[in-house]
Amino acid sequence: MANLWGGRFTEATDASAYRFNQSISFDKRMYEEDIAGSLAHAKMLGKQGIISSEDMEKIIDGLNSIRDDIAAGRLVISEEAEDIHSFIESELTDRIGDAGKKLHTGRSRNDQVALDMKLYTRKRIQETDRLIDLLMRELLKIMEDNIDTYMPGFTHLQKAQPVTLAHHAGAYFEMFIRDRQRLADIYERMNTCPLGAGALAGTTYDLDREYTAEKLGFTGGPTRNSMDSVSDRDYLIEFLSALSTIMMHLSRSCEEIILWNSNEYRFVEIDDRYSTGSSIMPQKKNPDIAELVRGKTGRVYGALMALLTTMKGIPLAYNKDMQEDKEAAFDAMDTVLDCLREFTGMISTIRFNRDIMEDSAKKGFTNATDAADYLVKKGVPFREAHSITGRLVLKCVEKGIALDDLPIEEYKAESDVFEKDIYDAISMKTCVEKRLTKGAPGRERMLEAVRFYRVYLEDMASDKD
């Protein structure tokens, strides 16, 4: 397989060094992007009169045939090539002759690979956003079905105050809104075209960089500095950072699902399709999908740290170190897409044990704050009300009952302010529904939130059309 270089060399590259240097084993996945960039470049060269129209048409036809043959499996990408760029150019020359050798006019592999990586990353951003959208639609279904599903809210992993499952799911919905905003910001910021930057200093050919940028859908036009164009991957670092944040959000939810699926909680039952068993213990039903998503989070973090570390000491402009931007990044992108698919499937089939969740909220004394507030509203100073309620909770702990089950005589023994209406004041329904501040779990507020989220998803879908 011919190299794209070699005139000044008198010896062949050592076979081991060649394998160490090559990138075809992993950059071959960018063949569509490489061909798309070459098509735009060839059309620009023809338009500018840098190559003849006849040669341009031969190159275009040849590139299209290569793309179609690879896609159909008629052409296998040879790993004897140094990289995807040399493979495609060599194959093109084999097919159309000397015209194929003119494709690289006014171009370097440096701006070529920078272009390919940007085009590939753009696609992955869009695909990631699409899968988050599907996940958010499942979260919205959970919210719509569980406006009145009471459960304990937690702080320090201790039962704190009553909320609803809809409110809990809504917290993750908000996280994923911000994740999508980050993806949109990265997409817009990176959407400039490096093609035409050359190796680092542009070219003497009369290239029309605006034309190629437009052909390739770069709404920000061509990059403004040729050295920066080929020597930075900050957009990829940003994307890996955003992917790490997405994985952090998925991992947090998986951690809760793992806990909730345990015998100690029994809040949920994961569907058999997203569980596995034990080779020795017949009773086991393990939340392996949730655990794997949680575990793969570190893998994505590792890709971010690897690229940050690779880039930190590289002087301008391009250095071969930057070939290391791909393998870990590709793995992280694949990992996040897989995790989003499996997580969405898992939560779409999960069963919530609503009665157990509500009973847990009661027995966890999540209505204790409301009992104290009951006293405050009747004129008892808050600090005294706090102390009285604490003593009532201690009585319940000793008796193994909830505040809802404590006899009125026990309440009155602590404060004669208590009346029988205390039971209504501390019911889960009352505790939740009277929380009507914006963002709280009260029914009216949650219905408003659900309406807002529906509109959000509709607006996001219309923006993509």
Residue with tokens 């994740």: 179
Bond preceding residue 114 cis, omega within 30 of 0: no
Query: What is the reported pTM?
Result: 0.93
Is 156 one of the annotated active-site residues of the chain?
yes
Q: Please tell me the predicted confidence (pLDDT) of residue 6.
A: 63
Q: Please tell me the predicted confidence (pLDDT) of residue 3.
A: 64
From 25, 253, 278, 415, the catalytic residue: 278
From the number of C-beta atoms within 10 Å of its C-beta (0-12, 13-18, 19+), residue 338 rates as middle
Q: What is the pLDDT along the chain (465 residues), one digit of tens a residue?
A: 456 656 677 677 777 887 887 899 999 999 999 999 999 999 999 999 999 999 999 999 999 999 999 999 999 999 889 999 999 999 999 999 999 999 999 999 999 999 999 999 999 999 999 999 999 999 999 999 999 999 999 999 999 999 999 999 999 999 999 999 999 999 999 999 999 999 999 999 999 999 999 999 999 999 999 999 999 999 999 999 999 999 999 999 999 999 999 999 999 999 999 999 988 998 889 999 999 999 999 999 999 999 999 999 999 999 999 999 999 999 999 999 999 999 999 999 999 999 999 999 999 999 999 999 999 999 999 999 999 999 999 999 999 999 999 999 999 999 999 999 999 999 999 999 999 999 999 999 999 999 999 999 999 998 877
From the number of C-beta atoms within 10 Å of its C-beta (0-12, 13-18, 19+), residue 187 rates as middle
Structure tokens belonging to residue 437: 């501040």
* 353-378 residues labelled b (16+ CB within 10 A) or e (exposed): bbeebbbbbbbbbbbbbbbbbbbeee
Q: Please tell me the predicted confidence (pLDDT) of residue 21.
A: 76
Structure tokens belonging to residue 300: 């994505």
Q: Please tell me the predicted confidence (pLDDT) of residue 2.
A: 55
Is 278 one of the annotated active-site residues of the chain?
yes
Q: Report whether 404 contacts 429 (CB < 8 A).
A: no
Q: Please tell me the predicted confidence (pLDDT) of residue 4.
A: 63
Q: Please tell me the predicted confidence (pLDDT) of residue 133.
A: 98
Amino acid at 376: V
- Residue 269: enclosing H or E segment and its boundaries? strand 268-269
Q: Is the dihedral of CA 162, 165, 167, 170 positive or negative?
A: positive
Domains and CATH numbers, the chain: 15-105 (1.10.275.10), 120-147+164-210+228-354 (1.20.200.10), 360-464 (1.10.40.30)
From 16, 85, 156, 229, the catalytic residue: 156
In whole angstroms, what is the distance from residue 122 CA to residue 83 CA?
21
Structure tokens belonging to residue 285: 């039903």
